[in-house]
């Protein structure tokens, strides 16, 4: 049973004692999600229509920040997210994101959580969500649109090694549009090398407080001259 924990910026996260893992950085959950997924990720996508894939829906914080950001930019976002262990309403309703995020919209957070699993649900005129109740390891991407951006937000490679294997990144890369971005909080060399093998060009970029660096990958156009 996940335990509610306060992080340093005042926003909540969850702690799983069986794994000794938090869902977010204890230096600040909202601060971390904004920095990595919104600023280093979503803001790099300039097109008017975006297909976004998230690994690990969890608390719904990234989805909530993304719908709020979409209201500002006017971009159309199809948010596709996969989760093996959905949270119960008692847990997500206890999270303080709707109170702590300035210019938030509590009803959007609720709609995102109450959206049916495995069905694409319209949340605003420009934002839909498809929450897939599935295991990333056995996932079939074939029915999904190509991704323009990937939020890779699994638990750490130390705790969930299989989710960070090259074969997983290869499957994701094959399902990405040219120039698609992948962002993750993890800056480990082994993860970076696996992403390169999978076909991403990698950058190390400054992380949020408590994390020196994070990773961003770009899918380069295929060289068809050979």
Ligand X SMILES: C[S@@+](CC[C@H](N)C(=O)[O-])C[C@H]1O[C@@H](n2cnc3c(N)ncnc32)[C@H](O)[C@@H]1O
Closest distance of CB 170 from ligand X, Å: 16
The token duo for 102 is 């300035």
* Residue 137 engages ligand X in binding (rule: CB under 6 A): yes
Written as one string, the DSSP assignment of 47-77 is SSEEEEEEE--TTSHHHHHHHHHHHHH--EE
* Region of 111-119, 129-137, 200-208, 213-221 interacting with ligand X (CB under 6 A): 129-137
Those residues with Cβ within 8 angstroms of residue 109's Cβ, 6 or more apart along the chain or in another chain: 60, 64, 97, 98
* Residue 136 engages ligand X in binding (rule: CB under 6 A): yes
Closest distance of CB 16 from ligand X, Å: 8
Among positions 28, 56, 208, 217, the unique one binding ligand X when judged by CB under 6 A: 56
Q: Collapsing DSSP states into helix, strand and coil, what is residue 115?
A: coil
Q: Which helix (H) or strand (E) holds 93?
A: helix 89-94
Q: To which residue do tokens 């709020």 refer?
A: 68
Among positions 7, 62, 75, 194, the unique one binding ligand X when judged by CB under 6 A: 62
Among positions 114, 125, 135, 158, the unique one binding ligand X when judged by CB under 6 A: 135
What are the residues binding ligand X (CB under 6 A)? Answer: 23, 56, 58-59, 61-62, 82-85, 135-137, 153-155, 160, 163
């Amino acid at each position: 049973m996940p335990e509610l924990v306060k992080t340093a910026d005042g926003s909540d996260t969850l702690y799983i004692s069986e794994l000794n893992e938090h869902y977010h950085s204890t230096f600040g959950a909202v601060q971390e999600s904004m920095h990595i997924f919104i600023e280093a990720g979503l803001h790099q996508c300039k097109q008017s229509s975006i297909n976004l894939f998230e690994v690990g829906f969890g608390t719904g914080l990234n989805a909530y920040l993304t719908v709020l950001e979409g209201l500002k930019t006017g971009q159309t976002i199809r948010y596709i997210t996969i989760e093996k262990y959905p949270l119960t309403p008692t847990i997500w309703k206890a999270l303080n994101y709707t109170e702590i995020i300035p210019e938030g919209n509590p009803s959007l957070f609720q709609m995102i959580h109450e959206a049916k699993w495995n069905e694409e649900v319209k949340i605003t005129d420009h934002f839909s969500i498809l929450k897939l109740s599935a295991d990333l390891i056995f996932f079939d991407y074939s029915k999904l649109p190509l991704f323009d951006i990937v939020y890779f937000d699994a638990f750490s490679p130390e705790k969930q090694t299989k989710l960070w294997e090259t074969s997983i990144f290869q499957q994701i890369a094959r399902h990405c549009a040219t120039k698609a971005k992948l962002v993750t909080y993890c800056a480990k060399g082994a993860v970076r090398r696996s992403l390169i093998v999978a076909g991403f060009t990698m950058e190390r970029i400054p992380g949020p407080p408590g994390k020196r660096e994070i990773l961003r990958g770009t899918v380069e156009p295929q060289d068809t001259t050979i």
